[in-house]
Chains A and B, each alone.
Chain A
Amino acid sequence: MSGWPEALLTYGLTIVIAFGIAGMIHLMVVLMEKFPPKKDN
């Protein structure tokens, strides 16, 4: 059955990009917690 190499390549890239985005979100949330934006008085 052909198509498995492309399917696995697509899945692998999807996993990398999806977890890359998850990591980016995590980093963003951690940075926001550490350096909260100053509120103007």
Chain B
Amino acid sequence: MTWEAMANIFQGITTLTESFSHNPRMAAARIGLILLGFLMIYLGKKGYLEALLMIPMGLGMATVNAAIMFFDPLNLHGGVGTLFVEAQAGATADAVKNAAEIVTILQIDWLQPIYTFTFSNGLIACLVFMGVGVLLDVGFVMARPFQSMFIAVCAELGTIVVFPIAQWFGYTPQQAAAISIVGGADGPMVLFTSLRLAPELFVPIAIIAYLYLGFAYGGYPYLIRLLVPKKLLGIKPAPAKKKRSITSGEKMLFAVVACVFLSFLLPVAAPLIFSLFFGVVIRESGIKEFIDLLQGPILYGSTMFLGLMLGVLCDANTIMDPKVLPLLLLGILALLISGIGGILAGYVLYFMTRGKFNPAIGIAGVSCVPTTAKVAQKVVSKVNRGAIILPDALGANVSGVITTAIIAGIFCSLLAK
């Protein structure tokens, strides 16, 4: 057997060795991404990062960077590619050419149907939002609406501040908006906004957003401990003034009114707003079969494919794009400023209530439902087991989803091409 025949059989190794001689940076990136994939699986398994996303994402990332072969039917990547997915299929302005490319790739790449029919139209974001909606108890917001909204608005600071900073880095206003929405820490919202405003940067923005959401899970506890002294972390929040419990009918009424009102104000974001409140309405309607369907197969199925697809899209070509590096910085900056904004809101409420409000609750305004609320409770519980901040934190958390939807809607309306 000739050397050429051997090289043709083991194309993963051949493409790697060839890229070491032609483009060593790309080869190093491939190896780095394979190792990063392993690390993500390990950290997800150990519980340091969100396992639901990190395990499928890590496996996808490691595998897709290993499985590069001599295959590039659309001539987009210098003769190499994989049989997983082609995110750039149909990205040109020619509609006829686009349709032909998409049909070709649909028949070759096994994950292409999921990408084309659920990612590129935002369906996956809406499905995740339906599942998230069914987990949301809007009663936490209804018990303390002004407090929750105040925290949520302050925790959008990162989104607002990073928008002009991203333009200073040379991104267009549309791209800057798609990048800055990472500060809302709401994955489906990032997918939706980047697809609407900056489809050319959709893949790197989505990857970075979800990667950082995983890191927020591990990094925010340190931010809380850094900004809130131990003495304040142990504060038990004052009980809500409301005496009677809020009925499911009232919650349903709120969800219906808010859904129609927000869709009326921001029709561009209506698919996401509808999906979220549809989940809430189903939860409060008590239709068990629908609740089980949304919170089980739909939420977990879409989250699994979301993680897997993001991992698979994370190939060295995409990551080594010079436009991606500033995104890494801007994404983390947005999340950091939003976290600080939320904690500052916590401090304002601490002073307004004369020391009866735990400032750590502020981090839950960053709307990564329910992760940031759980993170805040976990940090507080380590200092004072009796301090139950979860109801306040979940109120801020749910409000955070609403404020991020509002900002996404305004950005999409204001900056639509």
Contact = CB atoms under 8 A, between A and B. Distances in A.
Given A10-B410, A14-B410, A17-B265, A25 B254 contact: yes
Nearest to B404: A14
A33 B142 CA distance: 13
B406 A14 contact: yes
Contact of B142 (A9, A14, A25): A25
Interface size class of A (residues with CB under 8 A): 20 to 34
Contacts of B166: 3
A32 B414 CA distance: 37
Interface residues of B, number: 40
A37 B415 CA distance: 45
B250 A6 contact: no
Interface of A is mostly: helix
Nearest to A16: B406
A24 B164 CA distance: 32
Interface stretch (B25-33, B121-129, B144-152): B144-152
Contact of A2 (B148, B164, B253, B407): B164
Interface stretch (B64-72, B153-161, B186-194, B374-382): B153-161
B354 interface: no
A2 to B, nearest CB: 5
Interface of B: 141-142, 145-146, 148-149, 152-153, 156, 160-161, 163-168, 173, 176, 242, 244, 246, 249-250, 253-254, 257-258, 261-262, 265, 399, 402-403, 406-407, 410-411, 414-415
27 contacts: A1-B164, A1-B167, A6-B173, A6-B414, A7-B161, A7-B163, A7-B164, A10-B163, A13-B406, A13-B410, A14-B153, A14-B410, A15-B153, A18-B153, A18-B399, A18-B403, A19-B146, A19-B149, A21-B258, A24-B261, A25-B145, A26-B145, A28-B250, A28-B253, A28-B257, A29-B142, A29-B246
Interface of A: 1-4, 6-11, 13-15, 17-19, 21-26, 28-29, 32-33, 37
